[in-house]
Amino acid sequence: MQYYQCDQYPIEFVVSENMEKHFEPHNHVRHYVISVVIQGTVAVCLENREKECHRGDMFIVPPYAVHAVRQGKDARLLSMCLGTAFVEGTDRETAEGIVRNLLRDAAGLGIFGKEQQEKLFSSVRTVYRLRDGGQKEIDAGIKILADKITGHSERELPIEAMAADIFVSKYYFIRKFKNSIGMTPHRFCIQNRIRKSQGMLDEEKSISGIAAEMGFYDQSHFDKAFQRIVGISPSEYVRSKKQIEQGT
């Protein structure tokens, strides 16, 4: 996998290739993810609907939408991740101008070709339609707790305490959370710990220090969780990152 991060905006491209991988059901809380199949076949299950995508096919994953992705070793998948803060805080025309320039710069670096450039640009309007149509409906109490987990993912938040916050039993809370978010509170917490860890790795902090700070038993435990969710190890992730300096 290769990560290309924009130096000015919360936008990045991810190229996934030469790996046989099944990403288990998960979601992205702070990104809209637009993916294009460049080569081979990629199987996608989005909100319990399965689809087989071939070369040139696209799929868009809004925030909180649960999805699973399976790709074979011969497949090549390109994803553009737009931060929710960027989408919510930028009008569509301005965003289109920024994305157009960024796509031009990325294509100039050989990250992808003109066909993918055009497909990704055309997806920006779809993202804004999804934004204006409202995000996935989530129970208000569960959304507050999900935001609490996301904002403080390094903290151990006891299930009993979260259940008490919305005045339900522990077991009812777990069922209610899974029905709303698509995964158990524990799994959602681990996922968000790993997402926050990615940001900390971007800041060039040590892997062992991040593992301890984020509450993992040891670095081995952290490595396994990171590999399962991201698809590569923390050290591979650090080596895979490149930055796009936008020449606007």
> In the prediction, which pLDDT does 4 show?
92
Q: What pLDDT was estimated at residue 151?
A: 84
Can you give the pLDDT at residue 248? 43
Instruction: Output the pTM of the full model.
Output: 0.86
- CATH class, domain 140-242, is mainly alpha
| 3-class SS letters over the chain | CEEEEECCCCEEEEEEECCCEEEEEECCCCEEEEEEEEECCEEEEECCEEEEECCCCEEEECCCCCEEEEECCCCEEEEEEEEHHHHHHCCHHHHHHHHHHHHHHHHHCCCCCHHHHHHHHHHHHHHHHHHHCCCCCCCHHHHHHHHHHHHCCCCCCCHHHHHHHCCCCHHHHHHHHHHHHCCCHHHHHHHHHHHHHHHHHHCCCCHHHHHHHCCCCCHHHHHHHHHHHHCCCHHHHHHHEEEECCCC
- Listed as ranges, residues in the chain with pLDDT below 50 are 248
- Domain ranges for the chain, please list them: 2-132, 140-242
Superfamily of domain 2-132: Jelly Rolls (2.60.120.10)
pLDDT for residue 245 = 67
